[in-house]
Structure 1
Amino acid sequence: MIRAALISPLLLGACGVQATGDEVTRFAPDYQGVETRLLDGDLVQFDVSMTGARDQADVDAYAECAAAQYALIRGYGFARHLRTNVYEEGGVWRADAVYTISPSLPRGLRKLDAEVVVAHCAENGIPTV
């Protein structure tokens, strides 16, 4: 007996596979670099660019990984997200993200434990600074 299987697009997305029509492709990001600027004291801006992003979340994750690694390089354990502007042009995704870095857990809604985030980035193949 032959059985047909229906595969949910959500399941494919969770596995890093994208389905478009009859075509199934793997998520293949090309991380093109991070530019870091110290704005003032503990305020840092990260400009990242990549191709092959599925959506804004992939670019956000790349900037977050850069911020977490930068905090560790500077001897800090935490970062707090302030804002991220993401745009795409001609298949190249760019983000301009601003974070504060700190030695202790900062206030705010989007705080990062730098060691945990960097480990997560390594597990997912996302480069850091």
Structure 2
Amino acid sequence: MRAFVIILAVALSGCMASPTTTGAGGNPEYLGVETRLLDGDLVGFKVAMTGASSAEDVERYARCAAAQYALIRGYGFARHIRTLTDQNGGVWTADAVYTISPALPRGLRTIDAEVTVADCGVSGIPTV
């Protein structure tokens, strides 16, 4: 019985998606990031991609861009304000707004830029 469970577990592990597998084809294509400084520490990001399986994939792409931008500007943190997503003809887009700061900002939707950029690299998601 134990051997059967191990064989079943190994067989099923091949069916699980890897962290970078998204969309019907399993091949996400990241189409670029447009960054706009809105006001002081308020920054907007427009991203687009194909191969996303849901809005979460394109939101993650925007988060990666925000984290890298914070590091480029010499800041260590960002706080998510809002993200609007859309899907049209297989292309997913996100319009996200973040604040960037040198210290951990108040709020629940904060990100540590270094940790997030590292995670994006492991997941195969490009940054700015």
Q: Please, what TM-score do these two structures have when normalized by structure 1? A: 0.84
Secondary structure, aligned partner of 1:12: coil
Q: Does 1:89 align with 2:76?
A: no
Cα distance in structure 2, aligned partners of 1:16 and 1:39: 31
Q: Does 1:64 align with 2:68?
A: no
Secondary structure, aligned partner of 2:16: helix
Q: How many residues align?
A: 121
Cα distance in structure 2, aligned partners of 1:42 and 1:17: 33
Query: Which residue of structure 1 aligns with residue 16 of structure 2?
Result: 12
Query: Which residue of structure 2 aligns with residue 47 of structure 1?
Result: 46
Cα distance in structure 2, aligned partners of 1:128 and 1:61: 10
Percent sequence identity over matched residues?
64
CA contact (8 A) 2:20 2:125 kept: no
1:110: how far off? 0.7
After TM superposition, the runs of 4+ consecutive aligned structure 1 residues lying more than 2 A away are 5-8, 11-18
1:12: how far off? 2.5
Q: Can you give the 5+ residue segments of structure 2 that lack an aligned partner in the other structure?
A: none
Cα distance in structure 2, aligned partners of 1:15 and 1:103: 29
Q: Can you give the 5+ residue segments of structure 1 that lack an aligned partner in the other structure?
A: none
1:14: how far off? 5.6
Secondary structure, aligned partner of 1:99: strand
1:17: how far off? 5.8
| Structure having the larger proportion of residues in strand | 1
Query: Which residue of structure 1 aligns with residue 115 of structure 2?
Result: 116
